[in-house]
Each structure stands twice: as structure tokens, then as C-alpha cells.
DNA sequence: CGCGGTGTTGTTATATGATTACATATCCCC
DNA sequence: GGGGATATGTAATCATATAACAACACCGCG
């Protein structure tokens, strides 16, 4: 019985997260922007769980020595991370997820699983091109295309009954940020 | 100086709304679902303004004989309307807009203007096909694709300075449901 | 008719998401 | 070391959405 908590293959999550942090630091250094301790911590928490997380879920983990930081602190850090392409915002979930390739421009296309809540990032040129064409034909000037496809990921298709979130077993705080979906168990 | 409040050409809005309501009634009748007075009123309010509206903007108009209905009342009606394809939810705006062709399946592709807040519905087969291919290649089973392209509509491109929402002049309650954007006036 | 099921609405409270306004601190350049 | 830009702290508030439970209304059926 597979209890694979991730949609992708098993991986060394610690390495995965630390790699993202290292890349982020290098990128910020090269751009002259500052990855402050707060921003770094928020980035780490976005990556923890390896799936979309809501701002308040991150906030809950930000309690440092019993002191809960203000929502604004988290939002400001998230704004910075999004602007620098280190994190994507998932509009349909009101949640945030770490970007695996922050070094180049990324249109932001996602396959969002309605069961496990994971989001697989795409980078499909055909989709981008088709959207660009369609917009151009209507004289619409694109800022930022958003593609978020809701459905069922391969792993969850093979799970007999969705229940809730299997990844909760991995990290207790990694609860579903997905509020839009209706439980259909 | 063009003060055209709509992105599309001028139209008889009353006819447009009443047509949508008539179509909705016919559709519900044929499906055996009930378009109750509340749902009908919410649908009408979604259509009023002919642009995306937030749930609470609709709620504000639902004050009947001085009595303000509860948010849940509106949300339940919106859920019904969305499930029946009469209304689309715009994830990136947390807003709702009437669907002009509710009788057939619709992927929900929109060009969302960051200035006037209007949303132009697309139905681009190439976009749908590219998304479907990409998802299939990853074994992802699609429920509902969401494409919301943020940018500047043709009308607003020709407006010297965005300011805020020109359509406010038409209906005082049609204020911007757009909270995501940063004013850049 | 009266029973019971399904579906709709009402009521209250609360969770979650995001921003405004203002004060304070910190870093870096000159 | 002054001064501007950037970053953080604090408090309040707005906006979006759901939970839990009660009541009612409609409908088919015995």
C-alpha cells in the first residue's frame, strides 16, 4: 500500500528545502536584494510541506519564542518573495508555493490536486502561446497570465477514497490551505 | 472623449439581464433544479454592472425592506449558480460574473482588465487543447481548468491615466471588487 | 392526513485572507 | 555621522468565506 505523501517521487525533503534556500540566497545576492532572516524563514516555511500553504498557516509557524508575529510581517515577506519569483501565489487557493526555478521568468501554470492539495508547476509553451495569441486578437495587453487547473493528480487517482490530506502525517502543521473545495468523501 | 463604461459595444443592458434570467429559468426547469427567488435575485445582481462583482457587493444590494441578509445566504446562492454554470467565479478577483452561454460546458477563460475590472470571457480551443495535453502527459485528470489573464483591455489602453473605475459612474454600487491590484494612479 | 426525507433558508459566530496608517529601526551611501 | 531608502513593529480594520445548528417547506407515500 503506497502511502506516498508527495505527488512526485520520494525525495530528500531537507535537501530540497535547503537547496531552495541556497538558490534564493544566491539569486538575491546577484540582484542586490536582501533575503533577510524573516524573508528567509517565510521562504523556508513556504517550502516546508512542499505544497501550497496559506499565509496564516505560515503565520502560525512563525511563533518565535512564544511571540506571534503580525500578519503584515508575513504578507510583506510573501510580497517580496513573489516579486522576486521565489514563490508563486496560487489565486484559486489563496496560497503560496515555492518556485523550483526562480532564476528565469515563469508564467505560472499549475495543476492543482483537489484531494491532496499539491500543485504541480507546468511551463507549457503551447499554452502560453495560445493565450498570447488569443489576447492579441482582442487587443488585450497581458500583464500576467494565470493558469490553474483543478483536478486529481496521478497519486490520488489511485487512492480508493480521498478522505482528506495524507501529507498531514508528515508535518502536523501542513494542513490543507484549500478552502474552496468541498469534501466529497 | 470616450466614456464608454463597457469594454464591449454599448448594449441594452436591461434586455441583456432579463435575457439571462429567462435563459436561467428555462435551464433550471429543464434540469429539475429550482431557481428560487433568492437565487434569482443573486443572479440578477451578478449580472447588474455586467462585470465581476464580489459576494459582499451583492450582499449589500440584497438588503430587502431594510433587512440585510446573511453572507451565507448569498454564498449558498452563488454556489448553486456556479454549479449550474450560470455564473463563473473569478479566482484571481474573488468575484463572480454571469455566464453568457450557460447551456453548454465552458472552460472559463478570462481576460481581466486591471484598470476597469471588466472580464472578457474567452473560449479558445487551442488553449483548452494545450492544457488538456499537458495535463494528460502528467497523468493529471482535469476537473476544471482556470485561465485568468490579467492585463489591460483595449479601452483602457487608450485611456491616458487609469485612475480607478470608470464604470462607477453607471451604477454607484458597482465598485471595484478587485483587491489584489495595487493602485498605480 | 400525517409521516419522514430532502432541500432551502435563517441565525450566530468565527476562521481566514489582506490592507491601512503610523511609528520605529536598520543599513548603506556619501 | 547625517540622511535617505529600506525593513520591521504595532494596532486596527476591512474583506472573504465557512461552521454548526435550528427551522421551515415541499414532496412522495402509506
In DSSP notation, B5-53 reads -SSS----HHHHHHHHHHHHHHHHHHHT----HHHHHHHHHHHTTSS-B
Pairing mode, strands B141-152 and B95-98: unpaired
Residue with cell 517580496: A80
* A77 in contact with nucleic chain D (CB within 7 A): yes
**pLDDT tops 70 at residue B95:** yes
- The four Cα atoms A96, B128, B150, A110 give a dihedral, to 10 degrees, of 10
CA nearest A4: which of A169, A117, A183, A175? A169
Distance CA B81, CA B60 (A): 18
The span from the CA of A138 to the CA of B123, in Å, is 12
- Give the CATH architecture of domain A13-169: Orthogonal Bundle (1.10)
**Is A142 close to B150, i.e. CB distance below 8 A?**
yes
Question: Is A92 (CB) below 7 Å from strand D?
Answer: no
Q: Which of residues 135-154 of A touch B (CB under 8 A)?
A: 135, 138-154
Q: Is the pLDDT of residue B176 over 90?
A: no
Give pLDDT, residue A115: 86
- β-sheet bridge partners, residue A122: A109
Q: Which residue has the higher pLDDT, B108 or B9?
A: B108
Question: Is residue B163 scored above 50 in pLDDT?
Answer: no
Query: What span, in angstroms and rounded, lies between the C-alpha atoms of B36 and B108?
Result: 25
Is residue A164's pLDDT more than 70? no
Q: Give pLDDT, residue A65.
A: 62
Q: For residue A4, what pLDDT is reported?
A: 41
Write down the pLDDT at residue A183: 32
Whether A178 contacts chain B with CB within 8 A = no
For the domain made up of B107-165, give the CATH fold: Dna Ligase; domain 1 (3.30.1490)
Q: Does residue A182 surpass a pLDDT of 80? A: no
Query: b/e per residue, B65-75, with b = 16+ CB within 10 A?
Result: eeeebeeeebe
Question: Treating both helix axes as pointing N-terminal to C-terminal, what angle do B37-47 and B13-31 enclose, rounded to 10 degrees?
Answer: 140
- Provide the mean pLDDT of chain B: 82
CA distances from B101 to A170, B17, B53, B154 (A): 44, 13, 18, 23
Residue A177 scores a pLDDT above 90: no
| Residues B44-53: b if buried by 16+ CB within 10 A, e if exposed | bbbbbbbbbb
How do residues A25-67 score in pLDDT, each as one tens digit?
Answer: 999 999 989 999 999 999 999 999 889 999 999 999 987 666 8
Cβ separation of B130 and A126 shorter than 8 Å?
yes
Does the pLDDT at position A144 exceed 70?
yes
The CATH number of the domain covering residues in B11-105: 1.10.10.10
Give the pLDDT confidence score for residue B183 in this predicted structure.
Answer: 31
- How far apart are the CA of A151 and the nearest CA of chain B, in angstroms? 4
Helix, coil or strand: residue B104: coil
| pLDDT at res. B104 | 83
Output the pLDDT for position B68.
83
A72-97: average pLDDT: 96
The residue extents of the domains of chain B are 11-105, 107-165
- Shortest CA to C1' contact from B55: nucleotide: D16
pLDDT given at position A163 = 44
Determine the Cα–Cα distance for residues B56 and B61; give it in Å rounded to an integer.
9
Return the SS3 of A64. strand
Of residues B67 and B95, more confidence is placed in B95
Amino acid at each position: 500500500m503506497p502511502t506516498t505523501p508527495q505527488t512526485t517521487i520520494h525525495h530528500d525533503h531537507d535537501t530540497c528545502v535547503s537547496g531552495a534556500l541556497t538558490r534564493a540566497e544566491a539569486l538575491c545576492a546577484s540582484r542586490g536584494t536582501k533575503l533577510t532572516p524573516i524573508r528567509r524563514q517565510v521562504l523556508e516555511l513556504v517550502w516546508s510541506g512542499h505544497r501550497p500553504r496559506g499565509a496564516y498557516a505560515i503565520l502560525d509557524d512563525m511563533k518565535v519564542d512564544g511571540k506571534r508575529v503580525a500578519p503584515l510581517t508575513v504578507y510583506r515577506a510573501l510580497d517580496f518573495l513573489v516579486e522576486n519569483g521565489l514563490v508563486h501565489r496560487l489565486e484559486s487557493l489563496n496560497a503560496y508555493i515555492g518556485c523550483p526555478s526562480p532564476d528565469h521568468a515563469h508564467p505560472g501554470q499549475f495543476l492543482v490536486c483537489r484531494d491532496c492539495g499539491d500543485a504541480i508547476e507546468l511551463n507549457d509553451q503551447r499554452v502560453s502561446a495560445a493565450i498570447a495569441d488569443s489576447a492579441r486578437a482582442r487587443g488585450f495587453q497581458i500583464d500576467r497570465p494565470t493558469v490553474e487547473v483543478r483536478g486529481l493528480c496521478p497519486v490520488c487517482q489511485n487512492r480508493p477514497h480521498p478522505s482528506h490530506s495524507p501529507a498531514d502525517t508528515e508535518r502536523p502543521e501542513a494542513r490543507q490551505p484549500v478552502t474552496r473545495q468541498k469534501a466529497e468523501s
